[in-house]
Amino acid sequence: MKRILLLMLCLVGWPGFMWAQTPTREQLTGTWIGVHTEWDNDFVCTLPTYIRLDSDNTYHLGMVDGSASELTSTWAVRGDTVRLDTIHFSPRLVSVQDDLLRIGTTYPMIFRKFTPIEIDSVNTHQQLDGRIWQSDSLIISLYANGRASLEKRITKHRTAHFWKLARFGSSLFLVIHGNQYDRNGGYKFLWQLSSVQAKKMQAIGWNRYAVATETFQFVQNLAPGDSCRPSGFQLCDNCFDRTWHTTSLSHSEERYTLNQLIGKHHQPAIQAGQSGLVKIEFVVNCQGKSGLYTVSSVGDDYCPKVFDSRITNHLLTICRDHIAINSVLRTSDKPGTDPQDIAVSLTFRYRDGQLIDILP
Amino acid sequence: MKRLCFLYLLLPILGFSQDGERYLKDCASLMAMNRTAQSMFFYSTKREKGRLDTLSASARNDRFRAFNYVWRRDYEQAALWLEKTASQYPKEHGIIGEIYLSTLRDYLRALAHFEAYDTQTPTFDDLINHNPVSYMSGLAYRGLGDHRKAIELFSKAIDSLTIKHGAEWVNYRHFVSRAVSYIATQQPEKALADLANSTKNFNRSALVQYHRGRALLLLNRPAEARTAFQDASFFVKALRAERTGDYQEDNANPVYESEIDEALTNLKKLNH
């Protein structure tokens, strides 16, 4: 009996157990708003789409901000299999828990159950436009020219974007998208507004931990001369991860050009004991600005080792002044598309202060 | 490479989509991708690490784990798992040595693993991914700048196969590697002989023609060297058209189009 009780407790305490159940047709019927896609354990990107599953088996896939024509098809549940349009999901790959719909396990897509909240768009626009709002963690400035800035209250890190209000049925979404340059770069977030008053607004969205209602207090009006600028280096893409965006040089022509460039600017300095690997990583954004430089190193024994700062500073200077600005990094951009952010990772092998190899 | 192809597939979905229509199509594609559960997570490195952590210890699983760290450029953990895998599963010494040689460019560790691999069957020149261990050791010595030892080991790999089955059964890249060391030790005639054998086994090689040009230059035969470099230039362009990605005939002996162009430019300067 004790064993059974223990087993039951384990099952209840294991969130994956509930996720693993194929939902019923009744559970799935309704409108689901995209929350995010989980690309990795710590890397999620806003999902700006919605799914509507009607009781007459009609399936709708659309953009919450109405920026694309809705796709319409059919859906069905048979046994432990769900079909959306022509996609037959393997058993347990579509699940519902706590009003969250989870699709897939490889790159799970999370949707939340939508509840319409009627909001007047004209009045809301007037309340938000040209004003600064703050929650416990964030300060949002919504400029009259459509620009927006987001500032984390603890770190003071500020990024620049664009904002708009998007009508979804009778509901209203605050959409933050784009980057410091233009409206490209994808969506930062979409919040469903639940109430807007002169001094307080509330919005439903993902707060890094859960879908919740966030409260924003009115701070002040923006002054006419206030400009919307990031506090430092900003990526263009609102969905960025070094691993996913690292440009692979391998044994390409670009690798040869970079090696030549490094060889040209590297000043050898013999320093006994300065042996091992120095890894320098950085990011070049879509407009060619670089930032997020990191340096790490290991000795010949592959244990962490701090190299002489003359070596690491010299490498950083080469990367910043010669590599980051070199057009060779941009050759992976596809013709006809806007340039993207690129993460670069270079590892240098040193022996007694001499650069002897650059790892592929 | 498999990872890279996969990334090209996913990047458009990942973000930076230009408009709503494209976003919607990408979302539909991602749903289709999620229709089954994948056994590996490729670029989701932390999720992949979690998966690997749940696997039982075996040569294959431990090697995968080591490779995952190498791929993530976590060199401390990579070396830890490479050594652990090799010590627990001695047959892994060969492939581990190859990672030290080709990816980490740690020639001393590579040699230690090749030796440990080779001593398991002292009378046989074991293979690592179709290459005799003596050839791989030769590459490691070449990386250390010891071309004479490299030639000795390349010869061990090449000669045994030539005696048994004939030169036409030798991988043309092995002849090229020995030729590179002959050129480095100022023995261009021997290099040309090796490159002639290479040409018999693959007659459209930019790699072979480039090194022929270098050997001919050492022999002060610039007209023939120019022809060789021009042939190299032609073949490298033809290969670029045929292949996708950053294809190299031989990662151990990479030759770049710009390198061939530079050789031709230098020859022109020499003539003026």
Nearest CB among B10, B18, B72 relative to A184 is that of B18
Q: What is the DSSP letter of A114?
A: -
pLDDT in tens, B191-246: 999 999 999 999 999 999 999 999 999 999 999 999 999 999 999 998 877 776 66
Q: Return the minimum-mean-pLDDT range out of A317-331, B36-50, B108-122.
A: B36-50
* Cα dihedral B172/B175/B181/B187 (nearest 10): -130
Average per-residue pLDDT in chain B?
89
Task: For residue A254, give how far its alpha carbon lies from the nearest alpha carbon of chain B (Å).
Answer: 9
DSSP conformational letter for A155: T
Structure tokens at B190: 């021997």
- Tell me if chain A has a CB within 8 Å of the CB of B219: no
Burial zone of A196 (CB within 10 Å; 0-12 exposed, 13-18 middle, 19+ buried): buried
**pLDDT band, residue B5 (cuts 50/70/90):** very low
Query: Would the CB atoms of B27 and A61 count as touching at under 8 Å?
Result: yes
Q: Which residue has the tokens 């040409």?
A: B199
Q: Which residue would you say has higher pLDDT here, A14 or A206?
A: A206
Which has the higher per-residue pLDDT, B2 or A300? Answer: A300
What pLDDT, on a 0 to 100 scale, did the predictor assign at position A43?
92
ipTM: 0.88
Pairwise CA distance, residues B181 & A98, whole Å:
67
For A202, other C-beta atoms within 10 Å of its C-beta total 17
Q: Which residues of B fall within a CB distance of 8 Å from A47?
A: 27
Cβ contact A238:A251 at 8 Å: no
To test the contact with chain A by mutation, choose from B14, B106, B142 the residue with the greatest count of A C-beta atoms within 10 A, namely B14
pTM, rounded to two decimals: 0.87
Residue A211 DSSP SS3: strand
Determine whether the interchain pair A186/B10 forms a contact, defined as Cβ–Cβ distance below 8 Å: no
Pick from B5, B25, B35, B244 the residue to mutate for testing the A interface (most A CBs within 10 Å).
B35
Per the model's pLDDT, the better-predicted residue between A249 and A84 turns out to be A84
Q: pLDDT by residue (tens digit) across A300-349?
A: 999 999 999 999 999 999 999 999 998 888 776 666 677 889 999 999 99
What distance in Å separates residue A200's CA from the closest CA in chain B?
31
Crossing angle of the two packed helices B257-271 and B206-218, in degrees rounded to 10: 30
DSSP assignment of B145-174: T-HHHHHHHHHHHHHHHHHHH-GGGS-HHH
Instruction: Tell me what pLDDT residue A255 has.
Output: 87
**Predicted confidence (pLDDT) at residue B272 exceeds the cutoff of 70:** no
The token pair at A164 is: 């708009």
Interface test with B, best of A256, A341, A347 (most B CBs within 10 A): A256
Residues of chain A with pLDDT > 90, as a percent, come to 75
Report yes or no: B165 and B241 within 8 Å, Cβ to Cβ: no
Q: Check: CB of residue A205 under 8 Å from CB of residue A192.
A: yes
How much is the pLDDT for A333? 61
Q: What tokens appear for A198 in the block? A: 């002169």
